[in-house]
Each structure stands twice: as C-alpha cells, then as structure tokens.
Amino acid sequence: MTTLLTRPSESPTATGADQAIETSGLTKFFGKQKVVDELALSVPTGSVFGFLGPNGSGKTTTIRMLLGLLTPDAGDVRLLGQPIPAASDEALPLIGALIDGPACYPWLSGRQNLWRFDASGPDSQRSTRKARIEEALGRVGLTAAGDKRFKAYSLGMRQRLGLANALLRPRQLLILDEPTNGMDPQGTREIRHLIRELAADGTTVFLSSHLLAEIEQVCTHLAVMSAGRLVAQGSLNELQAATSPVLRVDTDDVQAAEAILFASGLKTTTEASQITAVIGDVRPEDVCRRLVEGGVGVRRFVVERPSLEDTFVALTGEGFDVAQ
C-alpha cells in the first residue's frame, strides 16, 4: 500500500540502535516539585510500547523532554541512538510525533497545514512533498476533507490531521500521545489497524494512552508511571505474569458456591452474581468438580490472567485523586 512512507530500512540515516528511546536519570522540576524523577525508560526498537500512568503522573512532561521541548534538570535522552537535544536535527526528522493533542493554523486548510509543517524543517524534500501529503491524508481518511479550513474540523478530524502530520515522512519512531482521543469507534479501529501496519513495517511505536483495552490490543511492551516515577517496565507478558491468575464464577446460588470455594481454601470477593478469587495453588478442575457435586448451578467458570486494568490499578493504586 505504501511507497513513500514507513520504509525505515531504506532511510539513509538509519542508525540500527537496539533501543529506539533510552533515558537515564531523567529528572524535571517545575518549581520545587519533582514532576519526573530519575526516569530510566528503555524502548526496544521494533516494539509497540504502551506508556501508561494516571493523570498528572508526568507522561506528557516526559514526552516533551524526549523531543527536546523541555530541558531536563538532570539525565540524558537518546532517540534512535542519538543524544537529544544535541543531535535533534539528525534524529527528529526520523520521528513522527503527536504531542498533547493536535495543533494547527485555523485559517489554513488541512493540506496547507501539512505543507506548512513539512516546509518548516531543515531537510525540505520539496519534490516529494505533494505526494507525501496526499498519501498521509489518505492513510488517515482525510483526502476528501483536505481542503476544508482546520477551524471547520471536528475533534476527531483534527486528531486525524495531527496523525497525518506524524506520518508525513518515512519514520523510524512514532511518539503518539493519546492518538485516539475524540475519535469515533470506526476511527479508533482504523488507528489501531494503522499502528499494527506501521509496526509490521518495522516502525517503533511509543503510545501513551489511558485506554487500557486499546493498549492491551496493540502493545508488545509497557511502562507504567506513577507520581513521576517508573513503577513497572517490560514486555506485556512479563508484567501480567507478575500478577496471579484469578477464578471467576457466575452463579445464582452465591451462598452455596462461596461456602464450597471457602472450604477449598480460596478467599472470595462477590459482586452481584459473580464470585472472584485468586486461584493460587488450588487446581481449578477440583473446584469445578466440587461445585457441580455440591449441586451449585454454574453459568460461567473461568480462570484468567488479570486484565491490564487490574494490573494498572495494582501498580498505581486505587485512588481517584490526581497525585500531583
């Protein structure tokens, strides 16, 4: 499908670093408050990396430091193996970014906005610009709306134009902050599809999102921030393996079922007709047989890995209040 975009291996400045993003001791203060605290991120090349954390945990500040918009108070950033901000001119053209929502000139059309951003860099590549703009608009489904002024765009269309800007050149790394914010379900699906396609082409995707189901579907790796610190980092499998599997039983006969589970040595919590228990060393086969022999009508009996949401809450705590 693509000819001009996302062919990182053909790029003349391909670096072949095994970490697309690497930070060490990255620290940022706003006034006296430590917003990012000695962050050591490590994003493997070729991964789809989910960057999670509650509101105010320092995700966007981190992304702004990665891209050289903020100067860290301590620590280093390397993108594609190159130091930032020293080598920004070499590294940043290979990186597409959507930071803190899209931003464009309201009085220009979608096409003119992309033209403006593309023309503002040191390496103009003017001869291919028109074709690249059309291709990027096509990828995000904005070909027909490309000549409308940006101020007439809906939130989802603005988000799509922001993504098109991130896809204007062949990229080795995409840094996407909440890319599906404000999009309709079709749009969300298309973006998920697009991210998979880009990843299959070898582009590393660094994805920050609150939509845990979204992250769970596309990401291979994960980092979780809480109050400026990294509380977990690794592949999705590693992180979920760290939490134990749970048993969920759906039944109308809650009391009898609870008694049997308790007798089997399980600690249960019940919500309406669903009983949940950490399964631990107990064999689920035995529990199932006892329930049936005890005459309990079982509608659903399942042992599953905790969802990403369970993992997330376990790592960052239950509280609803913004931490800082």
Q: Strand pairing partners for 277?
A: 247, 268
- The answer to whether the bond into 93 is cis (omega within 30° of 0) is no
Residue among 11, 24, 112, 143 that touches another protein (CB under 8 A): 112
Contact 191, 35 (CB under 8 A): no
Residue 252 found at the interface with another protein (CB under 8 A):
no
Residue among 19, 115, 268, 290 that touches another protein (CB under 8 A): 115
Query: Could you please report the per-residue DSSP string of 256-302?
Result: HHHHHHHHTT--EEEETTEEEEE-TTS-HHHHHHHHHHTT--EEEEE
d(CA 21, CA 81): 8
Residue 228 found at the interface with another protein (CB under 8 A):
no
Instruction: Please list, in sequence order, all residues whose beta carbon lies within 8 angstroms of the beta carbon of residue 79, skipping any fewer than 6 positions away.
Output: 20, 21, 66, 91, 92, 95, 173
Q: Report the nearest approach of another protein to the CB of residue 71 (Å).
A: 6
Total binding residues for another protein by CB under 8 A? 33
Residue 64 found at the interface with another protein (CB under 8 A):
yes
Pairing of strands 274-278, 298-304: unpaired
Residue among 32, 71, 144, 321 that touches another protein (CB under 8 A): 71
Residue 117 found at the interface with another protein (CB under 8 A):
yes
From 13-21, 65-73, 133-141, 203-211, give the range in contact with another protein by CB under 8 A: 65-73
Residue 280 found at the interface with another protein (CB under 8 A):
no
Residue 136 found at the interface with another protein (CB under 8 A):
no
Residue among 44, 56, 68, 182 that touches another protein (CB under 8 A): 68
Residue 124 found at the interface with another protein (CB under 8 A):
yes
Nearer to another protein, 69 or 303 (CB): 69
d(CA 174, CA 309): 24
Q: Report the nearest approach of another protein to the CB of residue 92 (Å).
A: 4
Closest CA to 163 of 148, 147, 141, 185: 141
Q: Report the nearest approach of another protein to the CB of residue 215 (Å).
A: 23
- What's the one-letter identity of residue 268? T
Residue 182 found at the interface with another protein (CB under 8 A):
no
Point out which residues bind another protein (CB under 8 A).
64, 67-71, 88-89, 92-93, 95, 97, 99-108, 112, 115-122, 124, 165
